Amino acid sequence: MGPSRAVVLLILALPALVAGCGEEARPDREPVARSTPRPSPKASPRKKTPPPVTRADADRLRPVLERWADALRAADFEAAGRFFELPAVVSQGVPLELRTRGDAEAFNAALPCGARLKEVQQNGRYVVGTFALTDRPGGRCGDAGNLVRVAFVFSGERFSEWYQVPDNPGAAPGPPERPERPKRAPRRPAEPADGTVQA
């Protein structure tokens, strides 16, 4: 080997020698584990608040309320129950949940009066109907002629929420959002064939 070739080999070996000078080779040394950075947690999606009901919405949905009141007044509880989008929340003071078609029929059957729609209004997320109470077949309506207000939240053309509005000046039509995990409405005994409602 000539002198020039020896110089070239020495120059090529220098980087490896320099890299090894810092520490002694340890074949038994365990590799250092590198931690993977954790992605930042995503914020929980917020509930979407439905847009307020407009006057046009209330007018468009008025015939739905009229048909429900007609079915209730005729004691056609099967038809009245079909207006509810299940599971539906109903309240006459305490929110309850209707989970089955039978629950919806039983709820309507337990209302002692029929109803006739007088007017509709919009209030936030609600369509509020004012009804005149009427007698109905098999019912025991002691308040015929009185007015009541019921606030509805619609899903399409069905009720997903139904709240009887307290008879107080300035009373809110219902909660600002749907109640979470309400109790199931109690199952009521089936109505006898003669149409009378059992207590």
Please give the CATH number for the structural domain made up of 55-167.
3.10.450.50
**Assigned token pair, 152:** 């509805």
The span from the CA of 82 to the CA of 63, in Å, is: 15
pTM recorded for the entire structure: 0.70
pLDDT digits (tens), the chain, 199 positions:
554 444 333 334 434 433 444 444 454 555 555 555 565 545 434 445 668 999 999 999 999 999 999 999 999 999 999 999 999 999 999 999 999 999 999 999 999 999 999 999 999 999 999 999 999 999 999 999 999 999 999 999 999 999 999 988 889 999 999 999 899 988 765 444 333 333 2
User: How high is the pLDDT of residue 18?
Assistant: 39
DSSP state of 93: S
DSSP one-letter string for 71-140: HHHTT-HHHHHTTEEEEEEEESSSEEEE-SHHHHHHHHHH--SEEEEEEEEEETTEEEEEEEEE--TT--
